[in-house]
Structure 1
């Protein structure tokens, strides 16, 4: 009996180790985006001139992410000074807290904090306080969605710092809130000095020194629960596959009042507009899935040479209007997309020549604004695909997307065995890997 127990214990230990390592790998790779492997926000700190006690620098944030943008209320950039630097003045941005400047008897600096936090200025700022790429309220669009508006800049005059390349020190511990957590920034690295072209295009100037900082996004750091889910339906099956129950949380009004809002409540307006509420914390409509955003993919029609899909995005968040929203969908038939109605489309090719990923976003001044929860809180469009007879089929869930992102966050898909199947398809087993392992363990213990 002991000879038999030893392999059994070894098997159990192996399964536990495999599951544990898998969970570690899941969290470790959470910051890696397979559909945008090189996406990041790069911060360039360009020293453009020296002053008697420091320097003047232009700081620019470039959003090199294809579909993840920085939405309102915008970015907040922070760091820790290497020495006892102060900010004498700023243009195109401002520090949120001046700090203790009591040691300066005459004109106090703009900011004396060891760890300043900088925000963008708002649209409509007087021209004498602006520089190029500033004053957009901290909103930066994604690189693929709006390639002419993917940067944000501010200028600062730094005192009590070095006055040469050998004595100046870069700031440390950069942080980026965009607008909440999610980004992790690396150290400042000396780079090739930036070059600037004059407005008339006839003169090029060069920075005295340039530091580069790279910040990468992790959805796991941004929020502990998902922010969107996907539901499915088709013309050939009456079943509507909903988002999984409790995808983004569970209704818990008994122990946590206000976790969701009933749309038929007479007190709806007072709850939504209550003062002191953080707009970054979703206030969602009471649903089974409790997600702020739901994406519904409906296989609508089947023609001889084409097939048609309807995509609907619904906003269940009473505290958020999504402007400049975007949707990224991975599906093997996007290389045969023929026509799209009322959405913009851009193919993404994260795997070089394989065209199976599409970025969709609204038409400006028409449906690029996704209103908060309510009757107007949805946008929709239809996609027409050409059939490839060598690969096309409606069987085995082929007509449904493999992966869906909303505003750069991965949406939760229904389990594959729940997908609507063809009426003549045989019944599918509902076995999972966990059930398989538990069955094997039960079998072993029964015969010990």
Structure 2
């Protein structure tokens, strides 16, 4: 019995650990339901999806939200979103509900839908920016009219078993919890109103649950060593080695091959690392008070254009970033006393879209950093400690393989000292 209890405790701790990200300790997606009015057999609610993650956004093809009704609720209508299936509504006569399924699945509408189908912060195809990248675009919302769901705070039963695909797996949602009703300001800001009832659902991300292998890797190089440290072999797993695509394959000319799938499955170019994304960090130049790094991101995924991409990097000298060329940059402060993490992301209409694999599937920038007291090129200090692309941690090479700083041998140093001594002696004699 003690063994079973210990095992369960470890399981709980592991489950919590895999959903905790030290680079973004407070990051989550919060789903908020605000009951705005009562109807004869239910209520009308505004459902808001807030992405409070600093550098993990919801990319194309967007979010999918699901839950289980507590009673026999139906969805009479929706604005700004739709369910993927109507279900069996045969018992209804006259007005037919939008959805009668016990477990509805909801998706965002695409841009360009008629005005009468739109709702505030809707209709972006489910794409939601990260909070750290663009707070104004980190929200998605829709309106739902629920029938047979209770007509007061005492009779409404909260939905259960929330699921979130964004766009693939990885998120775990907790139970719905009643919270203080949301307060709203009128347009003229002279009057406050509030929801009749509000509940929240919090969803956290785990890369461990999302996929068995990393989705990106890091390669390294430097001006002081001709050696290039490549991504580790099979860094992203080699189970799909047989299904990878060569750059000259006829498959690439097929219609629809570049269309993303809902499960976010990659169509990867054949490489030794088999990763959809490779990040290259090159130590380019050394000045007296500054040093320069070149960062390049290459897309090996023929199925995906990465919109709103983010690159989060941890390095002790990022607290002294002087200038960033052709990327946007924002410091991340997961802990108030430590400033060693920053987020790079594209400039709108310039390089915020990382094209699919091929000649255009590459973006790059340079970073100028001011040296601090700890600066050194020794023991791989100039290379990043952690790299995240679109919120997933990339595999770094083993430190033993990093480009090393050439050291002068004892014999060379002795010869140099002897030469200086002879020159000084010669000058003294003359």
So what's the TM-score if we normalise by structure 1? 0.86
Q: Give the 3 Å change call, closer, same or farther, for CA 199–131 of structure 1 in structure 2.
A: farther
Paired with 1:252 and 1:125, the residues of 2 have a C-alpha distance of: 38
Paired with 2:260 and 2:110, the residues of 1 have a C-alpha distance of: 22
Report the Cα offset of residue 100 of structure 1. Answer: 0.3
Paired with 1:72 and 1:150, the residues of 2 have a C-alpha distance of: 14
Paired with 2:176 and 2:15, the residues of 1 have a C-alpha distance of: 26
Report the Cα offset of residue 107 of structure 1. Answer: 1.4
SS at match of 1:128: helix
| Equivalent in 408, 418, 421 of residue 404 of structure 2 | 421
SS at match of 2:400: helix
Q: Which residue of 2 aligns with 1:320?
A: 304
Deviations, residues 97-150 of structure 1 (Å, cap 9, x unaligned): 000000001111010000001111111121212221111111110001011111
Q: Which residue of 2 aligns with 1:265?
A: 249
5+ residue gaps in structure 1? 1-20, 427-448
Give the alignment of 1:327-342 within 5 angstroms: 327-342=311-326
Native 8 Å contact 1:251 1:290 kept in 2: no
1:99 aligns with 2:87: yes
Native 8 Å contact 1:279 1:320 kept in 2: no
Paired with 1:40 and 1:275, the residues of 2 have a C-alpha distance of: 28
CA RMSD of aligned residues (A): 2.1
Native 8 Å contact 1:272 1:283 kept in 2: no
Report the Cα offset of residue 30 of structure 1. Answer: 1.9
Deviations, residues 1-44 of structure 1 (Å, cap 9, x unaligned): xxxxxxxxxxxxxxxxxxxx999977652211001001000111
Deviations, residues 146-185 of structure 1 (Å, cap 9, x unaligned): 1111111111111111111111100000000111111100
Paired with 2:261 and 2:130, the residues of 1 have a C-alpha distance of: 28
Q: Which residue of 2 aligns with 1:138?
A: 126
Q: Give the 3 Å change call, closer, same or farther, for CA 194–302 of structure 1 in structure 2.
A: same
1:42 aligns with 2:30: yes
Q: Give the 3 Å change call, closer, same or farther, for CA 183–240 of structure 1 in structure 2.
A: same
Report the Cα offset of residue 391 of structure 1. Answer: 1.2
Number of residues of Structure 1 aligned to a counterpart in Structure 2: 401
Q: Which residue of 2 aligns with 1:290?
A: 274
1:308 aligns with 2:296: no
Q: Give the 3 Å change call, closer, same or farther, for CA 90–176 of structure 1 in structure 2.
A: same
Native 8 Å contact 1:53 1:160 kept in 2: yes
Q: Which residue of 2 aligns with 1:383?
A: 367
Query: Which 4+ residue blocks in structure 1 deviate beyond 4 angstroms?
Result: 21-28, 274-279
Q: Which residue of 2 aligns with 1:404?
A: 387
Paired with 2:285 and 2:258, the residues of 1 have a C-alpha distance of: 45
Q: Which residue of 1 aligns with 2:222?
A: 234
5+ residue gaps in structure 2? 1-8, 410-430
| Equivalent in 325, 333, 340 of residue 356 of structure 1 | 340
Report the Cα offset of residue 279 of structure 1. Answer: 7.1
Report the Cα offset of residue 203 of structure 1. Answer: 2.4
Q: Give the 3 Å change call, closer, same or farther, for CA 245–352 of structure 1 in structure 2.
A: same
Paired with 2:182 and 2:151, the residues of 1 have a C-alpha distance of: 19
Paired with 1:147 and 1:168, the residues of 2 have a C-alpha distance of: 32
Paired with 1:143 and 1:275, the residues of 2 have a C-alpha distance of: 27
Native 8 Å contact 1:66 1:144 kept in 2: yes
SS at match of 1:156: strand
Report the Cα offset of residue 264 of structure 1. Answer: 2.6
Q: Give the 3 Å change call, closer, same or farther, for CA 143–277 of structure 1 in structure 2.
A: closer
So what's the TM-score if we normalise by structure 2? 0.89
Paired with 1:73 and 1:310, the residues of 2 have a C-alpha distance of: 31
1:89 aligns with 2:73: no
Paired with 1:247 and 1:412, the residues of 2 have a C-alpha distance of: 6
Paired with 1:138 and 1:214, the residues of 2 have a C-alpha distance of: 18
Native 8 Å contact 2:47 2:142 kept in 1: yes
Native 8 Å contact 1:86 1:160 kept in 2: yes
Paired with 2:168 and 2:251, the residues of 1 have a C-alpha distance of: 29
Paired with 1:61 and 1:352, the residues of 2 have a C-alpha distance of: 27
Q: Give the 3 Å change call, closer, same or farther, for CA 342–79 of structure 1 in structure 2.
A: same
Native 8 Å contact 1:251 1:260 kept in 2: no
Report the Cα offset of residue 71 of structure 1. Answer: 0.8
Q: Give the 3 Å change call, closer, same or farther, for CA 272–310 of structure 1 in structure 2.
A: farther
